[in-house]
C-alpha cells in the first residue's frame, strides 16, 4: 500500500468515469459517469489523509465534501431530467442540444 498506488487507482476511476460521461447519451448514464469520477476523488482524499497529513482532518473533510457533492449532484440531475422529460419527453442529451449556453 503506497500513496502512488492509491492515486493511480483514483486516476483510473476518474478516467473511466470521464469516458462514461463523455460517451453516454442517456442523462442517467452520464450521471453514473460523473459519480464514478467523484469516486476517484474519494479514494484520493482518503489516501492523502493517510499518507501525507494524518495529523489534521483535512483529507477526511475532502471525502466528506465529495460524498455530499455526489448526493447533491444526483438530486439536481434527476430534478433537471424530470423537468425536461415532463416538458419535452427527452431523456438523452442529443435531444437537448438547444440548452447549451
Residues that bind another protein (CB under 8 A): 1, 3-9, 11-20, 22-29, 31-33, 35-36, 39, 42-43, 46-47, 49-58, 60-61, 63-65, 67-68, 70-72, 74-76, 78-83, 85-86, 91-92, 94
What is the nearest approach in angstroms of another protein to the Cβ of residue 73?
9
Per the CB < 8 A criterion, the answer to whether 94 and 25 are in contact is yes
- Least distance to another protein, CB of residue 66, Å: 9
Q: CB 71 → another protein: shortest distance, Å?
A: 6
**Cα separation of 24 and 60, whole Å?**
31
Burial class from Cβ neighbours inside 10 Å (0-12, 13-18, 19+) for residue 24 reads middle
Output the nine-digit C-alpha cell for 70: 455526489
Amino acid at each position: 500500500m503506497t500513496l502512488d498506488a492509491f492515486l493511480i487507482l483514483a486516476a483510473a476511476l476518474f478516467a473511466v468515469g470521464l469516458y462514461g460521461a463523455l460517451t453516454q447519451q442517456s442523462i442517467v448514464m452520464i450521471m453514473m459517469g460523473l459519480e464514478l469520477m467523484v469516486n476517484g476523488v474519494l479514494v484520493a482524499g482518503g489516501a492523502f489523509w493517510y499518507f501525507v497529513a494524518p495529523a489534521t482532518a483535512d483529507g477526511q473533510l475532502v471525502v466528506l465534501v465529495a460524498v455530499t457533492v455526489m448526493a447533491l449532484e444526483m438530486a439536481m440531475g434527476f430534478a433537471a431530467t424530470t423537468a425536461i422529460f415532463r416538458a419535452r419527453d427527452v431523456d438523452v442529451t442529443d435531444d437537448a442540444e438547444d440548452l447549451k449556453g
